[in-house]
Chains A and B, each alone.
Chain A
């Protein structure tokens, strides 16, 4: 159990899919020292951070802070900010957009040097691409908790042919 002082610290973690309303489920990872083996082992704790505007999406790295007192039975933290949106990272030093280990502008330059094919043109343009979430609920179901199909629901039921079930 963390002490009262430690509770005021901000912690950084990753959002995971959940079903709670007005909150984001944040998984905070830490290393726990094993006295007997003198080794660190990865451990994680889940926190619920108050987020009524749904700023954080699944996979984002977010900064959260403990509330002075519990908001509900589950919600114990408040969202400070979204540090790194998932799959759309800005380099904190240069302030440029980057993909894994290279800047987006470098990738674009490289593509320009190769040149587009005559007939074909890549349909994707990062500058014009819509914000993340336009495929949510259509083809991308990662915002929901996946489960195994366990019952054949009747047509008309909200869980009939649920695309989230695998």
Chain B
């Protein structure tokens, strides 16, 4: 028994090592490891997900906490990029030959194709991307250093690196560089917002970036605190529901009551009139007109 257990433990660590990256806190919903077969020992399927003991009295009321899925901060979801890389057309000529546009139009098809980015390195492609975005953003024709151009250039780098990092997550140097770029862009956006709000709004619209405020507090996402919040939200829901119901019931009582009141007042006024006394009540107009 001890032998098999030891093997099982080894198997688990092995699966963790070679399986899909489980993510921070091991939260990512990895597929269940169907079967482990180290040296011919069969052990049942192991659920690698982390489970949390929920408070049963809350689960009865449908209050269940689900830990948010871990998303690495370099991913577009977190960095705020709403769109990916804008690939230029393959027939676009290289940036180097673009000044000689007149000559380029005269040469034959094959030469033009050879001078296009279809047969160039990724670097040339990037240059075209940069050039095209720069033209849209820049303040004047020689502007390469203004804040918005810097942000746009960083955005191009970030989106290309994100594409690469999705392919190979083990290139840690690249991933760190990407993270640094994202942080720098965020900081630059923050400064631009402080200096020139209108330009900032225009720029995030142009580049399709979400700018969200930093969390007011950095705290661990914990089961206890989250459940507390959920319970509080449920409580508020119930209070609002009950108050609204009560309000509705009062509203529905209003009409019959007013009717009754009008009738009673009318009766009082009539009685007083018949007895020859001064009328001490004012009959509402609706009741008097209907009478």
Residues in chain A within 8 A of chain B (CB atoms): 17, 59, 85-88, 99-100, 110-112, 114-120, 122-124, 126, 129-130, 132, 134-135, 138-142, 144-152, 163-166
CB-CB under 8 A from A117, the residues of chain B are 135, 138, 140-141
Q: Which of A59, A85, A123, A152 contacts B69 (CB 8 A)?
A: A152
Provide the bound-state CA to CA distance between A29 and B219, in Å.
25
Residues of B within 8 A of A165 (CB): 212
Can you name 20 A-B pairs with beta carbons within 8 Å?
A59-B194, A87-B198, A120-B141, A129-B199, A130-B201, A132-B201, A139-B82, A139-B201, A139-B208, A139-B211, A140-B200, A140-B201, A142-B212, A146-B216, A147-B216, A147-B217, A150-B229, A151-B68, A151-B230, A152-B67
B233 to chain A minimum Cβ distance, whole angstroms, is: 9
CB-CB under 8 A from A111, the residues of chain B are 139-140, 143
Q: Dominant SS at the A interface? A: loop
Write out the residue numbers on chain A whose beta carbons fall within 8 Å of the beta carbon of B69: 152
Q: Which residues of A contact B214 (CB under 8 A)?
A: 146, 166
**Residues on A with beta carbons closer than 8 Å to the beta carbon of B194:** 59, 86-87
**CB-CB under 8 A for A115 and B195, given A139-B204, A142-B211, A146-B215:** no
The CA-CA distance from A87 to B196 in the complex, in Å, is 4
Q: Are A148 and B219 in contact (CB under 8 A)?
A: yes
Chain B residues within 8 Å of A, Cβ to Cβ? 65-69, 78, 82, 134-143, 148, 193-206, 208-219, 221, 225-226, 229-230
Q: How far is the CA of A134 from the CA of B208 in the complex (A)?
A: 14
Q: In the complex the two chains form, what is the Cα distance from A85 to B194 in whole Å?
A: 10
A129 in contact with B202 given A86-B194, A148-B218, A151-B230 (CB within 8 Å): yes
- Is A135 a contact of B212 with CB atoms below 8 Å? no
For B199, list chain A residues within 8 Å (CB): 124, 126, 129
